[in-house]
């Protein structure tokens, strides 16, 4: 290989230079996003059918929709919620399903039943993906303009302006008011003239029309002939003539004589505020491949040219790019700090500045090549790929350190006057270097078969680390020896020898300890294994468990629910008190509030909604402490308001996977009364558990209803039937959009209805006047009975079966312990045998993820065993290394427990990576054993002494490079904290075990006949 490297050294240099240059270019082109691109297998169908009773809505629309959608290929679960006139059906599919095809199939299934559904039923089908949440949220407020004017400004000026920014998927305008012209008729005058609201609506519709009557060609021009009868303003509406009564001699009156005409916002049962002021919100959603940071900067630049009036204040209430940029900065700082600490370790052990420079040059070159790989694979900079780069820093430096340390050792062993061939020395390390890198890479291979959130997240990390390790291996094997052969001198050898005193003392201590341990390897291995197993068992029973790592996102969602059926004005009064609590919290920098809808969409009544609270950056209290304080103040000061507080990432992932609550107890039963009673009992029971907070019994009430029961005989005597009564009452209460006025680029509805004084109270509805076709009139209370029906509950079903979900959140309690307590409490309640119990929520996601990652861990162990067997063809080596790795996992569990880190999907991924990293260290140790020679305690101690420095350096470098991530320094860095903590704990104990316990196991296995003679295998060089 030496002639080959010598002959192609210029090609190698140029290749490294070009790849690095291309990688730097790729780094500027990679999009920056919050999460990896994941196709979440969920489609949501929103149904709007006007004003309908919930039970009738479920029977007429929701259930037929569920039956039709159950036939969509790939559907695994259907969940529905039905309210008054609206419903939401959620379809879950298998992971890996083609969601574009699934969405089209869902739309097709709905189209087949649409003709059979009540008139006016509308569907909206959307895929669940992260773009349903805005990347940037802006609030518009003004002290001089009302909500209608602000909404028009947002619709006509900001939406066209921002929609053209590259990367914007959509601009949603919420809040304010839609302009409308209200025509409030005078019932007394209408009755005196024999007119009805339908007469007014018909006259308005006829008086506002434009009709094309043909084309005329005249004097070389082609004209379109139009008959225009257009209404332009309120004055034109007032002048519309109405014919009084139906007889030929009836007079003509104008609409202005029988009605009050005015500008007014359209009826809306929602409200939006920002920082305590009524506002209009502009939510900008990004395309899946857009760069969040660049997109927000482009929007800020575009807003500067918007030319908004000076009284209109535009301020961000949510900015996802801040979290993305914070996470990127935290990872960047972790990489730089880790590289610096690795350099210190290198200098401590080898005392050569040239080696530090070589290593420092290798790191950015490898990371640049990794960026090129990410661009080729269509990936992005996100919290997982950046975390993978940070976690790979130690392994990248480790490859360089192992090679350079071996070269320095060969230079030290050579005669003083002769410089050995460093290219030949590098060839000696080819086999262990390729084997050690393969040991780390193979643990990621099983991730290819893992689906769900876990697979989507950690595949990105695995691909990043694999790309970095492959490039690092190639550079360490082929580029570093060329650099070292040209640049290293005997002075570097002399510098390294200065560290021999330091290493000599460590080596002497290792010799003494190893000799004592290997005198009786059975006792040493047995005692050591017993201690580790006891520590591991204790830690396993005491370590907390969770799903996603906790981190400070700089803001949180506050979901709320007022008393069911509460008026919008009453709900607003309660929420003003909540706003005062939020404003008085010193960490809060801004907030926005939605009532009647939510940030991420979904079925929402007028008595519920959410806040998004944005916190200050820099030094402040932890976000969990702020959330707890606000929740406790609301519970104490705002009775009657139920709240749930959660960070956005938890809410987003929960919404994308169907249920955002950590705890969900699903109760199934056919009897509604028994089911509701069981739900209340479960909610009361789990509410007594310490650490279980924000318990919701799932008995969501859509609100109260006014029931108008038509007296058929009385109606018939008055010349009416129930359908006539319903239509005339609807026209007077909800009103009729008779026509539309063209105003610039917008159309303004003209709504005809009864005056507010006749429809603002339930007891006034009986005075509404109804008119029969023959001209007779009757008051509503003469033909119908008016009564109040309280508590119309929302109807929930899963897979066509009625169910109620009791949900709760955790505070100061981990998910695993919380669910054990919940399951124990539910078991003690002795619910009726007709009630079936199931558990969902994030706990179900955790269970699935833990199962998947356990499979990955076992597969990683088996693949490591296969690799070791291929390298050495020795059962003893394979068994000894695998046992050493498994015992080191006990130390990982102890490290998680002692640091208070939850065992979540990030920590489990760290446990799996420990398998590869310790196998790598073991391969370096085994590489020192002489092929085809018998293994003795002396040969094992000699191998340990020879590999003591590189193993210690490798472990220390990996630990120190991961330390910034383990400390969670920087905003958004918490996602990798459990992973880094697990690896550090594993290496801190695993590296010493490789040097001590592994030799003992090899000797012990040799004595029981497992065979410990190593054979020479061909390996790439």
pLDDT of residue 3 exceeding 70: no
Q: What pLDDT is stored for residue 67 in this prediction?
A: 92
What digits encode the pLDDT tens for the residues 982-1000? 999 999 999 999 999 999 9
Q: What pLDDT is stored for residue 659 in this prediction?
A: 65
**d(C-alpha 178, C-alpha 613), whole Å:** 27
Q: What pLDDT is stored for residue 972 in this prediction?
A: 56
**Of all residues in the chain, what percent carry a pLDDT higher than 90?**
21
Whether the Cβ atoms of residue 302 and residue 138 lie closer than 8 Å to each other: no
Q: Is the dihedral of CA 667, 669, 671, 674 positive or negative?
A: negative
pLDDT of residue 648 exceeding 80: no
The DSSP result for 562-631, as a single string, is -STT--HHHHHHHHHHHHHHHHTSTTEEEEEEEESS-TT-----TTEEEEEEEE--SS---HHHHHHHHH
Round the CA-based radius of gyration of the chain to a whole number and report it. 36
pLDDT of residue 266 exceeding 90: no
**d(C-alpha 435, C-alpha 1021), whole Å:** 11
Over residues 366-385, the mean pLDDT reads 90
CA atoms within 13 A on the CB side of 103: 15
The pTM assigned to this predicted structure is 0.80
Q: What pLDDT is stored for residue 198 in this prediction?
A: 84
Over residues 946-975, the mean pLDDT reads 79
350 or 972, which is more confident: 350
State the SS3 of 740-779. EEEECCEEEEEEEECCHHHCCCHHHHHHCEEECCCCCEEE
**Which helix (H) or strand (E) element contains residue 125?**
strand 122-127
Among residues 548, 649, 661, which one has the least CA distance to residue 907?
548
Whether the Cβ atoms of residue 760 and residue 676 lie closer than 8 Å to each other: no
Q: What pLDDT is stored for residue 725 in this prediction?
A: 87
Over residues 42-62, the mean pLDDT reads 87
Q: What pLDDT is stored for residue 1021 in this prediction?
A: 34
Over residues 927-953, the mean pLDDT reads 82
Per-residue tokens: 698: 């799932």
Q: What pLDDT is stored for residue 1019 in this prediction?
A: 38
| DSSP 8-state class, residue 800 | T
Parallel, antiparallel, or unpaired for β 179-185 and 746-753? Answer: parallel
Residue listed under structure tokens 């002396």: 938
Q: What pLDDT is stored for residue 1015 in this prediction?
A: 46
**d(C-alpha 159, C-alpha 800), whole Å:** 40
**Of all residues in the chain, what percent carry a pLDDT higher than 70?**
93
pLDDT of residue 894 exceeding 90: yes
| DSSP 8-state class, residue 158 | I
pLDDT of residue 760 exceeding 60: yes
Among residues 183, 74, 39, which one has the least CA distance to residue 739?
183
What digits encode the pLDDT tens for the residues 553-599? 788 889 898 887 778 888 888 999 999 999 999 999 888 898 888 87
**d(C-alpha 610, C-alpha 650), whole Å:** 15
**d(C-alpha 857, C-alpha 863), whole Å:** 10
Q: Which of 396-410, 483-497, 715-729, 785-799 has the lowest mean pLDDT?
A: 483-497
Q: What pLDDT is stored for residue 1020 in this prediction?
A: 37
**d(C-alpha 825, C-alpha 17), whole Å:** 64
Q: What pLDDT is stored for residue 1016 in this prediction?
A: 44
Q: Is the dihedral of CA 643, 644, 647, 653 positive or negative?
A: negative
Which band of pLDDT confidence, cut at 50, 70 and 90, is reported for residue 5? low
pLDDT of residue 27 exceeding 60: yes
pLDDT of residue 921 exceeding 80: yes
Q: What pLDDT is stored for residue 407 in this prediction?
A: 79
Whether the Cβ atoms of residue 349 and residue 500 lie closer than 8 Å to each other: no
pLDDT of residue 506 exceeding 50: yes
Share the mean pLDDT of the chain.
84
Q: What pLDDT is stored for residue 249 in this prediction?
A: 55
């Amino acid at each position: 290989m030496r002639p080959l490297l010598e002959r192609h050294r210029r090609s190698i240099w140029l290749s490294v230079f070009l790849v690095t240059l291309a990688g730097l270019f790729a780094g500027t082109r990679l999009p920056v996003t919050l999460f990896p691109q994941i196709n979440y297998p969920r489609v949501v169908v929103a149904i709007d059918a006007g004003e309908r009773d919930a039970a009738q809505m479920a029977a007429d629309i929701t259930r037929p929709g569920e039956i039709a959608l159950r036939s969509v290929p790939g559907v695994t679960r259907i969940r529905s919620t039905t309210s008054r006139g609206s419903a939401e059906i959620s379809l879950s599919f298998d992971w890996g399903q083609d969601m574009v095809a699934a969405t089209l199939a869902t739309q097709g299934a709905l189209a087949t039943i649409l003709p059979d559904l009540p008139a006016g039923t509308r569907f909206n089908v959307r895929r669940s993906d992260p773009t349903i949440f805005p990347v940037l949220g802006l609030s518009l407020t003004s002290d001089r303009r009302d909500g209608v004017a602000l909404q028009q400004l947002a619709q006509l000026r900001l939406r066209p302006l921002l929609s053209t920014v590259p990367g914007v998927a959509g601009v949603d305008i919420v809040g304010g008011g839609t302009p409308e012209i209200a025509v409030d008729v005078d019932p007394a005058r209408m009755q005196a003239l024999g007119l009805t609201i339908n007469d007014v609506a018909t006259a308005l519709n006829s008086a506002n029309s434009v009709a094309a009557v043909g084309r005329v060609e005249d004097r070389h021009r082609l004209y379109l002939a139009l008959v225009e009868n257009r209404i332009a303003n309120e004055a034109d509406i007032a002048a519309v003539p109405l014919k009084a009564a139906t007889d030929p001699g009836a007079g003509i009156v104008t609409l202005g004589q029988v009605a009050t005409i005015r500008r007014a916002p359209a009826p809306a049962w929602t409200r939006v505020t920002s920082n305590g002021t009524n506002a209009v919100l502009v939510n900008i959603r990004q395309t899946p491949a857009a760069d969040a940071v660049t997109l927000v900067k482009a929007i800020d630049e575009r807003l500067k040219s918007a030319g908004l009036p000076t009284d209109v204040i535009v301020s961000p209430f949510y900015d996802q790019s801040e979290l993305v940029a914070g996470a990127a900065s935290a990872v960047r700082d972790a990489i730089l700090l880790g590289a610096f600490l690795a350099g210190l370790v290198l200098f401590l052990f080898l005392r050569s500045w040239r080696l530090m420079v070589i290593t420092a040059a290798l790191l950015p070159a490898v990371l640049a090549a990794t960026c090129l790989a990410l661009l080729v694979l269509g990936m992005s900079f996100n919290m997982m790929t950046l975390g993978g780069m940070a976690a790979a820093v130690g392994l990248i430096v480790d490859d360089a350190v192992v090679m350079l340390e071996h070269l320095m050792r060969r230079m030290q062993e050579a005669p003083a006057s002769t410089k050995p061939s460093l290219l030949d020395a590098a060839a000696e390390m080819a086999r262990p270097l390729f084997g050690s890198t393969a040991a780390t890479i193979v643990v990621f291979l099983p991730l290819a078969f893992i689906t769900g959130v876990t697979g989507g997240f950690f595949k990105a990390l695995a691909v990043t680390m694999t790309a970095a390790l492959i490039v690092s291996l190639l550079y360490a094997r082929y580029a570093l020896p060329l650099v070292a052969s040209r640049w290293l001198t005997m002075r570097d050898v002399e510098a390294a020898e200065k560290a021999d005193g330091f290493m000599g003392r460590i080596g002497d201590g290792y010799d003494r300890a190893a000799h004592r341990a290997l005198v009786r390897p059975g006792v040493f291995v047995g005692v050591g294994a017993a201690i580790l197993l006891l520590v591991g068992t204790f830690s396993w029973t005491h370590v907390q468990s969770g799903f996603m790592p906790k981190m400070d996102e700089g803001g949180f969602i506050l979901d709320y629910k007022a008393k069911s059926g509460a008026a919008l004005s009453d709900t607003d009064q309660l929420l003003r008190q909540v706003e005062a609590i939020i404003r008085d919290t010193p960490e809060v920098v801004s907030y926005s509030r939605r009532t009647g809808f939510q940030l991420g969409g979904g079925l929402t009544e007028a008595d519920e909604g959410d806040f998004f609270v944005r916190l200050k950056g820099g030094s402040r209290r932890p976000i969990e402490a702020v959330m707890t304080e606000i929740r406790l103040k609301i519970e104490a000061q705002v009775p009657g308001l139920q709240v749930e507080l959660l960070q956005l990432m938890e809410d987003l992932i929960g919404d994308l996977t169907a249920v955002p609550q950590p705890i969900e107890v699903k109760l199934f039963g056919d009897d509604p009364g028994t089911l509701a009673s069981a739900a209340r009992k479960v909610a009361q029971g789990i509410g007594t558990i310490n650490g279980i907070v924000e318990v919701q019994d799932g008995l969501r009430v859509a609100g109260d209803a006014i029931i108008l029961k038509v007296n058929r005989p009385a109606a018939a005597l008055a010349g009416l039937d129930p359908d006539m009564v319903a239509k005339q009452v609807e026209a007077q209460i909800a009103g009729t959009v008779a026509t539309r006025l063209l105003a610039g680029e917008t159309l303004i509805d003209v709504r005809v209805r009864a005056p507010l004084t006749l429809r603002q109270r339930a007891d006034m509805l009986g005075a509404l006047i109804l008119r029969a076709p023959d001209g007779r009139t009757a008051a509503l209370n003469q033909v119908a009975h008016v009564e109040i029906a309280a508590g119309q509950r929302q109807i929930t079903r899963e897979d066509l079966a009625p169910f109620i979900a009791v949900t709760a959140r955790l505070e100061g309690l981990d998910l695993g312990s919380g669910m054990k307590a919940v399951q124990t409490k539910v078991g003690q309640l002795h619910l009726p045998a007709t009630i079936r119990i199931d558990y969902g929520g994030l706990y179900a996601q955790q269970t699935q993820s833990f199962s998947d990652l356990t499979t990955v861990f076992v597969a990683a162990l088996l693949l490591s065993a296969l690799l070791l067997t291929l390298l050495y063809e020795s059962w003893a080596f394979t068994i000894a290394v695998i046992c050493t790795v498994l015992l080191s996992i006990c130390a990982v569990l102890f490290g998680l427990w002692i640091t208070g880190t939850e065992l979540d999907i990030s920590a489990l991924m760290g446990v799996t990576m420990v398998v590869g990293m310790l196998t790598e260290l073991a391969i370096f140790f085994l590489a020192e054993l002489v092929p085809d020679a018998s293994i003795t305690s002396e040969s094992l101690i000699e191998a340990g002494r020879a590999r003591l420095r590189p193993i210690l350096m490798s472990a220390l470098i990996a630990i120190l490079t991961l330390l910034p991530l383990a400390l969670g320094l920087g905003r958004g860095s918490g996602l990798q904290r459990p992973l880094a903590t697990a690896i550090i704990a594993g290496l801190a104990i695993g590296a010493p075990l490789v040097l001590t316990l592994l030799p003992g196991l090899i000797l012990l296995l040799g004595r029981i006949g497992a065979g410990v003679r190593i054979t020479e295998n061909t390996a790439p060089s």
